[in-house]
Structure 1
Amino acid sequence: MDPEKKHTWDKNSKWPEELELLKSIINKTGLTETTKWGGTAYTYNGKNVLGIGGFNDFFTIWFFKGVFLKDENKILVNAQEGLTKSLRQWRFATKGEVNEQLVLQYINEAIGVEKAGLAVKPEKKPLIIPERLQAELDASVELSEAFAKFSPYKQKEFAEQIATAKQEKTVLARLEKIKPLILEGRGLNDKYR
């Protein structure tokens, strides 16, 4: 792919007047403006509170912990339903839709959420041991006991190493590689840490 033709989302060049309007409102709140992930974001005591940006059909203010906002006006949307747990967007199609008083109300509530320390805790996914690795563990008490001594994180690394193999010969090769590591008490990626 030609690097000059690579498409990147420029959050700040679309809707310049509209984004300046949002900035002028946000600047009344005492939040600190910064750049995160190539876009304009605002923090309170170093913690992300909100960001702004422009898309093709709308410009937006997003609240990193928007899930905790009351949203009595039902204006916030989840941009990726099922994926996004906490972030919520308030989308605008014109400058005329921006109600300064209401925007300030939502921002102040978002600052209150941050002050209260509310957060969505990431879901822990259960460890799934692939059948081939489980068969090896079941066949050797020594291997099973050594595997059990690893942290869940390191156990998951071993499990994923086997689960991501597409061919049987790759599964066998990987099993032969990881069994000595497990018996020695060395994690799969310890040499990189």
Structure 2
Amino acid sequence: MDEKNPWMKYDYWDDEIEIIKSILNKTELIETTKWGGIVYTINNKNVIGVGAFKNYFALWFYNGVFLKDELNVLVNANEGVTKALRQWRFTSKEEINEKKILAYINEAIANEKEGKSIKPTKKARIVCAFLDAELESDKELSIAFEKFTSSKQNEFLEYIETAKQEKTKLARFEKIKPMILNNIGLNDKYR
């Protein structure tokens, strides 16, 4: 297992990954490393990733939802969650067909150049009467809270709102108040 690359969990696919990379290197894509894995980009946009797992090695197309998939080989690895990403999984070296793979890669490149992508949708602001009341009564806290992005605001709102008891809401509020005033997001230590 490659400790530096979390997408290469099993090293017995090394030869196959090298073959896939040799095909990708025949295109205008640029090989980079992102999130510890191999990613191919064009104009600094992610187009394709490469990885190896226990039962397969794969190419994933970041905007694969737009590919025609005439060979019907692409899968959504996380149905209901993943909107655009699609994987082409291989279980043996014999499945690697350069001509077919290049057709998919070139279509993915063309789609990226055309700007085809799914834009993330913003979540609606979570309603939390408790925190809203606290913000309304404390101008300094309100100003500090407004400096956060809407997603970080939602993290705080959800943290308070999901408490079932009033005393838990109050305890959670006491925990996050100094964080808000010091511009520290609820989950910043995990980022």
Q: Could you tell me whether the CA contact under 8 Å between 1:157 and 1:188 is conserved in 2?
A: no
Q: Distance in 2 between matches of 1:9 and 1:62?
A: 11
Question: What is the CA distance between 1:31 and its match in structure 2?
Answer: 1.1
Q: Is it true that 1:16 corresponds to 2:14 in the alignment?
A: yes
SS in structure 2 of the partner of residue 34 of structure 1? strand
* 1:40 alignment partner in structure 2: 38
**Superposition map of 1:1-193 within 5 A:** 10-11=8-9, 13-133=11-131, 136=133, 143=137, 150=146, 153=150, 156-165=154-163, 167-174=165-172, 188=180, 191-192=183-184
- In structure 2, the residue corresponding to 1:121 is in which secondary structure? coil
Q: 1:79 touches 1:88 (CA, 8 Å); kept in 2?
A: yes
CA distance in 2, matches of 1:99, 1:189: 57
For 1:189 and 1:66, locate their aligned partners in 2 and report how far apart those are by CA, in whole Å: 42
Cα distance, 1:35 vs structure 2: 1.4
- 1:52-108 Cα distance to aligned partner (Å, 9 max, x none): 111111111111111111112211000010111111000111111111111001000
Give the Cα–Cα distance (whole angstroms) in 2 for the partners of residues 173 and 119 of structure 1: 42
Mean Cα displacement is larger for which, 167-176 or 85-94?
167-176
Distance 2:184 2:79 in 1: 36
Give the TM-score, by structure 1 length.
Answer: 0.74
Which range moved further: 149-158 or 38-47? 149-158
Q: Which has the larger radius of gyration?
A: 1
Q: Is the 8 A contact 2:61 2:108 kept in 1?
A: yes
Query: Would you say how many aligned residue pairs link Structure 1 and Structure 2?
Result: 176
Q: 1:129 to 1:9 in 2, by over 3 A?
A: same
Aligned Cα root-mean-square deviation (Å): 3.2
Gaps of 5+ in 2: 1-5, 186-191
CA–CA separation in structure 2 for the residues paired with 1:42 and 1:16 = 18
Unaligned runs of 5+ in 1: 1-7, 182-186
Quick one: percent identity of the two aligned structures?
Answer: 53
Return the offset for 1:176.
6.9
